[in-house]
Amino acid sequence: MGAGSWGSTFAKVLGDAAASHGIERSIRIWGRTTDVVADFGRHRNTKYLGDIALPESITATMSPAEALEGAQVVVLAIPAQSLRAQLTDWGAHIPRDAVVLSLMKGLELGTDKRMSEVIAELTGLPQGQIAVLSGPNLALEIARSQPTGSVVACTDHETAQWIAESCTAPYFRPYMSTDVVGVEIGGIVKNVIALAVGICEGKEMGDNTKATVITRGLAETTRLAVALGGDLTTMAGLAGLGDLVATCSSKLSRNHTAGSLLGQGLDADQVGARMTQVAEGIKSAPAVLELAQRVGVDMPITAAVVAVLRGELPVDQLEPLLLARQLKSEGD
Catalytic residues: 190
d(CA 21, CA 166): 10
Work out the widest C-alpha separation in the chain, in whole angstroms: 59
Contact 148, 191 (CB under 8 A): no
Identity (one letter) of the amino acid at 224?
L
Q: Are strands 130-134 and 148-153 parallel, antiparallel or unpaired?
A: antiparallel
With 0-12 CB in 10 A as exposed, 13-18 as middle and 19+ as buried, what is 10?
Answer: buried
Distant-in-sequence, close-in-space partners of 201: CB < 8 Å, separation ≥ 6? 210, 256, 259, 260, 263
Give SS3 for 197: helix
Distance CA 157, CA 233 (A): 17
Nearest to 86 by CA among 71, 102, 73: 102
Residue ranges of alpha helices (H) inside the chain are: 5-20, 34-39, 46-49, 64-68, 83-90, 115-123, 139-143, 157-166, 180-202, 207-227, 243-249, 254-263, 268-274, 280-294, 300-309, 319-322
Q: How far is 322 from 200, CA to CA, in rounded Å?
A: 10
| 144-158: b (≥16 Cβ within 10 Å) or e | eeeebebbbbbbbee
Compute the chain's Rg from CA coordinates: 19
